[in-house]
Every structure is written in structure tokens, then in C-alpha cells.
Amino acid sequence: MEVLLFSSIIILAVTSSVTSCSPSDRAALLDFKAALKEPYLGLLDSWTGLDCCQNWYGVSCDPTTGRVADISLRGESEDPIFEKSGRTGFMTGSLSPSLCSLDRLTTLVVADWKGISGEIPACVTTLPHLRILDLVGNQISGGMPANIGQLSRLTVLNVADNLITGSIPASIVNLQSLMHLDLSNNRLSGTLPADLGKLTMMSRALLSRNQLTGSIPSSLANIYRLADLDLSMNRISGPIPAELGNTRVLSTLKLDSNQISGSIPASLFSNPGLSIINVSRNNLEGTIPDVFGPKSYFTALDLSYNNLKGSVPKSMSNAKYIGHMDLSHNHLCGSIPASSAFDHLDASSFTSNDCLCGMPLRTC
């Protein structure tokens, strides 16, 4: 009986030591806290005591090792704390490099705090287990870490809505596990990596509202899981790669407000999976490909503000559905095909062309 009791005490002691916070992790978190200021809700006031695995807001640990695994701090969430206060979060300060001591970290979310500034610590690329890096909605500046490609397990990289400058690191193509990439609404410049298509696991690539130049890499067509590609509101030039239309699961393609030239590949309109296409406000020329059919289903089709000529394709009348369509501000001519797919469209969808006629415009 005494032996069993002694063994139970030992087991209890071991269990207790595993579930409690690592002292080095606790020190790193306190350094991280010291670099931030959250003045209204007192969320980080809970970061007290010896055990950072218990009741520290936004912190969770691996129960088997007692190491910090997740930091999830969102300034806009459905947490009752925000609902009761009637406000979203606001936090200033910067991201302390002490985070890089948390070498078992899998999730780092410090999102939508609006006032966090400074740079992304370069050492974040040394976190071998990191799967989610989400810093959206702050005022983070400087460049992206050059060695970002070292994060071999990263599945989500979201630094949208910040002030990040410089080019997209060439090493980004080494993120072989990446599924979600959002770099939108920053100040990124330079060209898209030509071999971006190496990111074969990626389903969303959102890079709008930057200052990116150069052409659209044809290698993007190699990303067989790519469903959403948004390169709008940049300074991208050159043609639209025809290969993009052959991407099997691509459903949303937004290339609007760039300097793209050449003709529209017929493959974009013959792909039955593409339901949202926006190539407006570019320098596209030629005619609208006459390749629509009974499987064509578009919730949005915007070709406005280009230099397109010719007529509205007769095959458009065969489309199964066209929700929003805008062909305005081009050089189209001829009669608009009669089609029930156009019944809900008004004149603004066709206005400011050279000589279009027919419903909903004037009769021919």
C-alpha cells in the first residue's frame, strides 16, 4: 500500500510538471506583453501568475509537453468580452522578437488590432512548427522576412491590411504546405515570383491593392487546388496566361485595375468552373471570345473599361446564368443578343460603347 501511494505521488508530480507552463515560455510571453499596450479591455491583464497555460487570454499549451503551442489574439471576434464592451479591440506597440523563443509554437495570430506597428521579427522564420501566421489588420511595416520559405509547415500566411513594403521574398515558393496566402492591401512592389506555381497546395492567393509590377506567371496554372486568385489593383502588365483557364477548380479570378494587355483567352469563358471574372480597367484588346455555352454560369462577369471591339458574342445567349455583367466603356458594336440571361440587366451594363443597340439599349 505504501509503495502504491508513493508511486501515485510521483505520477501526480510528473503530471503536474508537464501541464504547467515552461518558465522560458512564460518569460518570452511576458516580454511579448511588455512590448504591447491594450488600453481599453485589459485582455493581457490575465497574463499573471506562474502558469501561462492556465487562464492566460489567447494562450494555449500542448498538454503533453506544457509548451506554448498557440497565441491567438484577435481584435475583432465574437468573444463575449468584445460584445459586452461594445467595441472592437485596439492595441499599440510592436511584435517582440522574444516570440522566437517559443520554439513549439504552431499558431501565431495577432490580428485586427489596428495600431500594432514595427516589423515582423525576422527570427519568426526559425519557428519549426509554425502552421498559421496571421497578422492581418495592423500597421506593420518593413519587408517580409527574406527566409519566410523556411517555415515548411506553414499552411496560412496572412499579413493583409498592413504597411509592408519591399518585394515578395523569392523563398516564398518553398512553402510547400501553404494553402492560404493573403498579402493584400500593403505596399509591396516588384514582380511576382515566376515559380509561384510551386505552391501546389494553395487554394487562395490574394495579392490585391499593392504596387506589384511585371506579368502574371503562367506557372500559377500548375496550382491544381487554386480556387481564388486576386491580383487586382496593382500595376501588372502583359497578357493573361491562357493556361489559367485550364485550372480545374479556379472559381474566382480578379485581375481588375491593372495594365494588362493583349486579348482575353477563350479558355477563361469556356471553363465551366469559373463563376467570377473581373478583368475591368485594363488595356485588353480584341474581341470577346464566342465560346459561351449551356454550362456557362457566371455570378459576376466584368469586362468594362477596356479596348474590346467587335460584337457581344451570340453564344452568350446560351449561358445558363449570368448574374452581374458589365461590358460598358469599350468599343463594342452591333446588336445585343436577345436572351433571358440578360433580362435582369439594365443599360449600364452596355453603355459607353461605339454602336451597341438592342435591349436594354435603344432598338437597332
What's the whole-number mean pLDDT along residues 88-94? 89
What's the whole-number mean pLDDT along residues 265-291? 96
Q: What percent of the chain has pLDDT over 70?
A: 93
Query: Considering only 63-77, 80-94, 221-235, which range has the smallest mean pLDDT?
Result: 80-94
Q: Does residue 13 carry a pLDDT above 80?
A: no
Q: Does residue 341 carry a pLDDT above 90?
A: no
Longest dimension (CA), the chain: 102
Do 110 and 133 meet the contact criterion of CB atoms below 8 Å apart? no
Cell readout for 352 is 459607353
Q: What is the pLDDT of residue 16?
A: 43
Mind listing the pLDDT tens digit for each residue in 121-156?
999 999 999 999 999 999 999 999 999 999 999 999
- Name the band, by pLDDT with cuts 50, 70 and 90, for residue 87: low
Do 225 and 248 meet the contact criterion of CB atoms below 8 Å apart? no
Q: Does residue 34 carry a pLDDT above 70?
A: yes
Contacts (Cβ under 8 Å, ≥6 apart) of 88: 75, 76, 82, 112
Residue ranges and CATH numbers for the domains of the chain are: 23-357 (3.80.10.10)
Q: Does residue 91 carry a pLDDT above 80?
A: yes
Task: Provide the mean pLDDT of the chain.
Answer: 92
Q: Does residue 64 carry a pLDDT above 50?
A: yes
What's the whole-number mean pLDDT along residues 228-234? 98
Q: Does residue 119 carry a pLDDT above 90?
A: yes
What's the whole-number mean pLDDT along residues 198-211? 98
What's the whole-number mean pLDDT along residues 161-173? 98
What's the whole-number mean pLDDT along residues 322-329? 95
Buried b (16+ CB within 10 A) or exposed e, 24-42: ebbebbeebbebbebeebe
Q: What is the pLDDT of residue 112?
A: 95
Q: Does residue 307 carry a pLDDT above 70?
A: yes
- pLDDT: which is higher, 230 or 346: 230
What's the whole-number mean pLDDT along residues 244-259? 96
Q: What is the pLDDT of residue 83?
A: 64
- pLDDT: which is higher, 16 or 239: 239
Q: What is the pLDDT of residue 40?
A: 84
Q: What is the pLDDT of residue 2?
A: 42
Q: Does residue 86 carry a pLDDT above 70?
A: no
What's the whole-number mean pLDDT along residues 34-50? 92
Q: Does residue 36 carry a pLDDT above 50?
A: yes
The residue to which cell 485588353 is assigned: 284
Q: What is the pLDDT of residue 5?
A: 38
β-bridge partners, 228: 204, 252
